[in-house]
A and B are shown apart, each in its own frame.
Chain A
C-alpha cells in the first residue's frame, strides 16, 4: 500500500488514534494530556499539508482515491477521495482544529473527556470532507453530532443543556431528511449490467449528469430534502435559530470549530451531493436559493446589529456571511438554456468557496477574540466594554484586523468571496444583487459600531476591570496566526483558487449539459 492510498485514511483516523491514546492515559496529569492532544492535531495538520505535493492541480477529478469493501452486499464502500472542492476544506479543518486546540488551554474542567471528544469531532469533520460514498458521508456527518452535543452540553455556559439539545435536534432532523433523500437516490440508481443500486457519489453524479438519475417527480423532492438538511447546517434563515444559542453557550474553542468548520459542511454538502445529483431541480429552484441567500445576508446583519451580547453578535454575523455562500452557489439560474452564462455561475461558486474559507479563518478568529476578553472579565455585554484599546493595545490591534477581515475589507480574506458572489448575482438578478451588496454596508455598520463600543471610548465600564491583563503568549500566537492567514488569503487568493477552479469548472460544465436538456 503506497502513501497515496494510505494518507487519506491516516488523516481521518489520526485524531481517533490520538483519542484512544488519551483514553489509556491517566487523567491526573493534565499537561501531558493537553500536549498529547495538541501533538495529534499538529500531526493531523501536517498530514493534510502533505496532501499538497501529490495533488495534481490541473486534474479536476477525484485524487487520492481509496475504495475498500465495507458492506459489499449493499454496495457500500469505504471510499475516499479529494478534489479541488474538498481539499481546501480538509486543510481548513485541520488548521482550525489545531488552533482551537491551542485555545483549549482555557478549559479546566474534566479535561480528559474534553480532549477525547474534541479529537473524535475532528475525525468526523475530516471524514465528511473526504468521503465519496454517500452512506459513508452520512455516517461521518452524524459522527460529529454526539461529540459536539457533549462538548456544548458539558463545557458550555449557563443555558448549555437547552443550546445542546437544540443543536442536536435541528441537526438530527436535517439528517433524517437527508436519509430519505439518500434512500430515494439509492433506489433510483442503476449501475452496471445488473442495474445495481449504488452509493458512489462520483458514479451517481455521472449518472445524474448523463442519462439522468431521478425523474421529474422525485428529483425536486430529493433536492429540497437534501437542501433543508444542509441549510440547517449552514445555517440559512429560517433554519438558523440553533446557531446563536449554540455559539453563545459553547466554550470558545468549540465556537471556533463550529463557525470555522461545521458551518462549511452545509455548503460543501450542497456542492458535493445536492447539486451534482439533482441538476434539473437545482436549475428550477435557483431563484429560491438566491432569495434564501439574500434574506440570510440581510436578516443576519440586522440581527447582529441588534445584539448586545458580543458572542451572539458574532454568531449572527456568521448567518449573514454564510448567506453569501448560498447566494453564490445558487445563481445557477444565470445559465441560459443554450449554455451561455455558465462563467458567471462558476464565478459565483468560486466566490462561495472562497467565502467559506475566508469566513472559516475570520469567524474562528472573531470567536477567539471574544473568548480572550470573556476569559478575563466573564461577561460579554458590549455596552459594558469600552476603552480596551488603552488597556490591551496588542489585543485591540489584532482584533481590529480580524474583525476587518470579517467585514470584507479589500486586502483581507472576506473581500474576494463577497465581491465574486455579488458580481455573479448581478448577472442573474440585479435587484437581489443590490440588496446583497447593501448587506456589505450593514456589515461594515455593525462591525465598526462594535469596535467603537468595545475598544474605543474613554474608559472600561464593566466589572472586573483589574482582570484586563495583556494577552498571554498562547493567545498572541493564535490571534496572529489567524490574522496572518486572513491577510495571505486576501492578498494571494490564487493560492486556493488554483486548486478549486478546475473541479468547479467540471461541476458546472457537467451540470450545464443537463440543465440545457431540461427534464
Chain B
C-alpha cells in the first residue's frame, strides 16, 4: 500500500496524460527529480508548522480523547465517587464544542468552509465544511445525550464512567467517520464508532433482550466490517493507494474516453467498483438500510431508549457524512454515476417502504421507531442518489442542493427522532413500559410531554408547520429537479410521498393511544418533573423553529455553503467527467 507523500504532493494532482498503469502511476506521484526533491524539502521544512496546524484542526477530537482518559483515570484512582462520570463527560464535550464552535465563529463565513488546504495529517483526514458541520452536529448531540442520561438515570453512578467512556469513544469514532479521507481511516473510524456501540446496546446487563440485542448487533457488525475491509483492500490493491482523493483521480482517468477502449481498464474498473460496493455495504449496515437492517429493530428494542436514540441519530449522521464523501468521490463521475444512483435509489425506496410497512405491526414503541429510522434513512438516501445524477449531468449546483437537503434533514432529524426517544425514556421511568398499549390515556396525566411527543411524531411524518416537513421538502425538491435528468428520480419522489401517507398510519397510533383512548383504571400514574419537561421542550422547540421561523433560512444557507464546498472542493473531478474532456 502506497502512502501519499505528504499533503503538498497529495494536493498536487498527477499529470492527466499519464495513464501507464499501475506501477508507473505510483511514481507519477513523485515524478520528476526536481519535484521530488522540492517535495521532500518542503515536507521537512514545513513539518512542524504543518503538524501544529493539523493538531489545531483536530483539537475538539483530542479534547474528547482527553475526556476518555480522564474518565478511565478517575475510575482507576477511585475519584468517580466524588466526581460522577457525567460531569467529566459533560465538561469535556462542552469544551470540545466550545473550541469547534469558536473556530467556526472566529474564522467567519469563508475561512473554514473552503476546500483549500483542508487535508490534515498528510491527507488521512480532511477538515472541510462537511467535517465541521458534522463535528458540531455530533457535539451538540452528545451534550443532549449526556443530559438525558443524567435526567433518566441510566447508567447508575456505579456504571457511569464506563458508560460515558463508551459514549464519548463512539462519538470520536463518528467524528472521524465524518472527516475520513483515506480508506484505512474510513475502516478504523467505522470500527471505532461500532465497537463501543455494541457494548452500549448490551449495557443493561441483567436483561436478556439487551444481551441478545448486543450479540445480534456484534455478529452483523462483524460481518459488515469484514465485507467492508475486503472492499477497501480490493480498491487500494488495484489502485495502489488508499487516499480517497487520489483514488478518485485514478478512477477518473480509468473512466475517461481515452482509456475506455482498453481491456485493462474495464477489468480493473469492474474490480474497483466491486470494492466500492463492498465499502458501501459497510455503510449501509451503519445506516440500517434494507437489506442490511436486520440488527436495527432488535438492537433498538433491547437497548435502553437513551442508547437507541444516540445510535439512531449520531451513527446515522456520521454514516451519511461518510457516504456522501465516498459516493461523491468514488462514483460521482462518468458512466459510474447513473447506475450507482439507480442502485442507491432502489435501496432508498425499498428501505422506506419496508420500514414503514413493518413499523405498522409493532407493539413496542422503540421497535416501531427503529423501523421508522430505517424509513428515514431511505428518504435521505434519495438525496444522495439524486446528487449522483446531478454530477453525472454536470450540474454541480444541483448536486450541492441535494447534499444541502440531506444536511438539513439530519439537523431536524436530530431533534425529532431524539426527542421521541427521550420522551420514551422519560415515560418508561414512570410507567415501566414501552408498549404502545400502555400509553393509553397518558394525554390526561402528562399533557405537556404527550403534546411534545405528538409534535416529534408528526414532524417525523413530515407535516407542516413542523421541521420534518421543511426537511423533507428540501430533500425531495432537488430530487424532483433531477427527474428532468433521469426519470427514475421522479419515481423516487413519488415513492417518498406515498410513503409519507403510509407512515401516518403507524405514527398516529401513539397520539391516538395517548389522547383518544382512556387510561385504564389500574394503570400506573405518570408524574413528570419540571426539569424533564423542560428538557423535552428544549428538544421540541427547535422542531417548531425549523418549521416556521426564519431560522430555516439561516440553517439552509449554512447547509448550502457546506454542500457547495463539498462539491466544489473536487472541481477537478467534476472536470474529469468524460463529456467535458
A-side residues, CB < 8 A to B, are 69-74, 110, 113, 138-139, 141-143, 145-146, 150, 153-154, 160-161, 165, 168-169, 172-173, 176, 179-180, 183-184, 186-187
Contact = CB atoms under 8 A, between A and B. Distances in A.
Interface in B281-338: none
B504 A172 contact: yes
A176 B464 contact: no
A145 B481 contact: no
B465 A153 contact: no
B48 interface: no
Given A146-B458, A153-B516, A154-B515, A139 B504 contact: no
B497 A179 contact: yes
A69 B553 contact: yes
B469 interface: yes
Which of A73, A141, A154, A186: most chain B Cβ within 10 A?
A: A73
B477 A186 contact: yes
Interface in B450-474: 458, 463-465, 469-470, 473-474
Interface of B is mostly: helix
A183 B553 contact: no
A146 B463 contact: yes
A76 to B, nearest CB: 8
Contacts of B515: 150, 153-154
Contacts of B484: 187
Interface of A is mostly: helix
Contacts of A138: 464
Given A73-B560, A154-B516, 4 more contacts: A74-B556, A139-B464, A139-B469, A183-B480
A438 to B, nearest CB: 38
Contacts of A165: 505, 508
23 contacts: A70-B550, A70-B552, A71-B470, A71-B550, A71-B552, A73-B553, A73-B557, A74-B474, A74-B553, A139-B548, A143-B464, A143-B465, A153-B515, A154-B515, A165-B505, A169-B501, A172-B500, A173-B501, A176-B500, A179-B473, A180-B493, A183-B476, A187-B477
Contacts of B447: 113
B259 interface: no
Q: Which 8 A-B pairs have the closest CB atoms?
A: A142-B464, A139-B464, A71-B553, A183-B480, A176-B497, A71-B552, A187-B481, A139-B465
Contact of B469 (A70, A142, A161, A183): A142
Contacts of B493: 180, 183
Contacts of A160: 516
B464 A172 contact: no
A153 B512 CA distance: 8
B498 interface: yes
B516 to A, nearest CB: 5
A71 B555 CA distance: 10
B516 A72 contact: no
B504 A169 contact: yes
Contacts of A69: 550, 553
B146 to A, nearest CB: 30
Nearest to A164: B516
Nearest to B494: A180
A184 B480 CA distance: 8
B444 to A, nearest CB: 8
Contact of A183 (B458, B464, B477, B560): B477
B514 to A, nearest CB: 11
B504 A142 contact: no
Contacts of A113: 447
B516 A172 contact: no
Which of A70, A74, A141: most chain B Cβ within 10 A?
A: A74
A165 B512 CA distance: 10
Contacts of A72: 553
B530 to A, nearest CB: 15
Which of A145, A146, A169: most chain B Cβ within 10 A?
A: A146
B463 A145 contact: yes
A180 B508 contact: no
Nearest to B490: A180
Which of B464, B469, B515: most chain A Cβ within 10 A?
A: B464
Nearest to B479: A183
Nearest to A68: B550
Contacts of A143: 464-465
A142 B465 contact: yes
A183 B470 CA distance: 13
Contacts of B469: 139, 142
A463 B473 CA distance: 54
A110 B493 CA distance: 40
A123 to B, nearest CB: 10
A160 B516 CA distance: 9
Which of A71, A165, A169, A173: most chain B Cβ within 10 A?
A: A71
Contacts of B548: 139
B505 to A, nearest CB: 8
Contacts of B474: 74
Given A138-B464, A139-B464, A180-B493, A187 B552 contact: no
A168 B504 contact: yes
